[in-house]
Amino acid sequence: MSLFSEIETLKKEKNAIILAHYYVPDEVQVIADFVGDSFALAKKAKETDAKVIVFAGVLFMAESAKLLNPDKKVLIPDMSADCPMAHMAAISKIKKMKEEYEDLAVVCYVNSTAALKAVSDVCVTSSNAVDIVRSLKNQNIFFIPDQHLGSYVKKQVPEKNIILNDGYCITHHAMTKEAALSAKKQHPEALLLVHPECKEEVVQLADYAGSTAGIINFAKSSMNKEFIIGTELGVLCELKKQCPDKTFYPMSEELICSNMKKILVEKVRDCLKEENNEIILDENMMINANKPLEKMLELAS
């Protein structure tokens, strides 16, 4: 039996679904039941009737699926597939900010640990951050953990006092203005599409800045035929599938998330077969961390 056939058989036996992020290896995206960005995956996890969720992504994503589905078994193919940015905010600082500012909302990018979500007021993704922050009644916003997405939201919602944290995605943060200019010089007919986790100097050069799903939708609807992609290169799999008549160039060959690439087809099969690498969270933390996720789904619906 082939590896793919074995996975299909196991899924039926266990009433399981495989959810995959756009950044995991192409072959994992191919075997997934659903591929999406953080927001789409959170919604899909909430909606599924499957008893077992295999989350092909990094740890915070699997945690979010468990928070939204406390009675389901959530598995991750590799427990070491963590996201450094997910840890880049201090609970002590959040408490201090709440003491310092009246009317403060802690807005937590979904790319964060369950522990950080548990002390936040609402979660956001790059797809919905601007709309959700704008809709909040609070004037003071502490945006965690990503400084670059926070800065992007701050520019879009100038009427709010948005206080930035100092976290960042190590993959997007490494991208420079020079890399963007070099790619534009090499491909003068191409539009530059970037993720707002990139530095402001890169975002300013972009023809479009938005979530991974937003980048895909922009490329699909655009009349242009060439694009420079300024986000993790795993998205090229979906871009080529959705837009076979268009050409895509990486802004940099270094746009690779080493943690996402730990999710291999063999590991998906193994965790499904053995039902190991299960996400187990403290019950009180789950109750508190689920509230901002549910509020996100409510406000973004």
**80 with 58: CB under 8 angstroms?**
no
Higher pLDDT, 136 or 301: 136
The 10 Å CB-count burial string (b at 16+, else e) for 53-65 is: bbbbbbbbbbbbb
Q: What is the pLDDT of residue 199?
A: 97
Question: Which tens digit of pLDDT belongs to each residue from 165-178?
Answer: 999 999 999 999 99
Q: Is 193 helix (H, G, I), strand (E, B) or coil?
A: strand
Express as a percent the part of the chain with pLDDT over 90. 95
Output the pLDDT for position 44.
93
Residue 227 reports pLDDT greater than 80: yes
Render pLDDT for 30-53 as a digit per residue (tens, 0 to 9).
999 999 998 889 889 989 999 999
169, 91 Cβ separation under 8 angstroms: no
pLDDT at 158 over 90: yes
pLDDT grade, residue 1 (50/70/90)? low
Phi, psi (deg, nearest 5) at residue 209: -125, 130
Nearest to 77 by CA among 286, 292, 277: 277
Question: What pLDDT score was predicted for residue 165?
Answer: 98
Q: Is 238 helix (H, G, I), strand (E, B) or coil?
A: helix
The residue type at 75: L
Angle between helices 265-274 and 3-14 (to 10 degrees): 30
Task: Determine the pLDDT at residue 300.
Answer: 85
Q: What is the pLDDT of residues 97-111, one digit of tens each?
A: 999 998 999 999 999
131's tokens: 């709309």
pLDDT of residue 159: 97
Reply yes or no on whether the pLDDT at 8 is more than 80: yes
Beta strands in the chain (DSSP E): 16-21, 34-36, 52-56, 73-75, 104-109, 122-124, 140-144, 161-164, 191-194, 208-209, 226-230, 247-250
pLDDT tens-digit map of 176-199 = 999 999 999 999 999 999 999 999
Give pLDDT, residue 42.
86
* Integer Cα distance of 162 and 139 in angstroms: 8
Query: Residue-wise over 131-145: b if at least 16 C-beta within 10 A, else e?
Result: ebbeebebebbbbbb
pLDDT at 43: 87
Gap between the Cα atoms of 141 and 154, Å rounded? 10
- Residue 301 scores a pLDDT above 80: no
